[in-house]
Amino acid sequence: MKGQRKKFPFRHFNGSQTMTAPRNSDEAEDRLAPLRPAYLRRLTLRQAEVAHAAAIAGTRTLQDDELREIHRTAHSMGSSAAIYGYARLSEAARAAERILEDPVSTGDARAECLARLAREAETILTPKS
């Protein structure tokens, strides 16, 4: 196995386990730096989708196709945020997923959760002065 990276366990906040996590955040930062600009471009688009869905959810019931699409977006945001080290964004995305999966959740609860997710993404996208 010369030249191969040793796998080791990493436990996510939801209890699942991955065997390829970086050993420390510095290693993750260095290895992900070339990919981060493309990730941030995708996050910009996803943030706009989530903000739009939050506005809709606050005024009417999301249609099944809209619900599936925004759930997929939240899921993608949660996974990629965890990979890039944005824990608060990942947690907000997982919370949105849970609300969207709950058949008895209200439009207001969905709108609030999606708005939180949009705000967390905006925090990452806003340049720090």
Query: What is the domain range of residue 77?
Result: 36-123
- Say what the pLDDT of residue 128 is: 82
Question: Is residue 103 domain-resident?
Answer: yes
- Distance, in Å, from the CA atom of 84 to the CA atom of 75, rounded to the nearest integer, reads 14
The pLDDT tens digits for 28-46 are 546 899 999 999 999 999 9
Question: Is residue 15 domain-resident?
Answer: no
Question: Is residue 89 domain-resident?
Answer: yes
The amino acid that residue 107 corresponds to is G
Judge whether residue 5 has pLDDT over 50: no
Question: Is residue 76 domain-resident?
Answer: yes
Question: Is residue 20 domain-resident?
Answer: no
What's the pLDDT band for 129 if we cut at 50, 70, 90?
Answer: confident
Question: Is residue 107 domain-resident?
Answer: yes
Average pLDDT of the segment spanning 58-72: 95
Judge whether residue 84 has pLDDT over 60: yes
Question: Is residue 60 domain-resident?
Answer: yes
Q: Count how many domains the chain has.
A: 1
The amino acid that residue 2 corresponds to is K
| pTM to 2 decimal places | 0.76
- Say what the pLDDT of residue 39 is: 96
Question: Is residue 18 domain-resident?
Answer: no
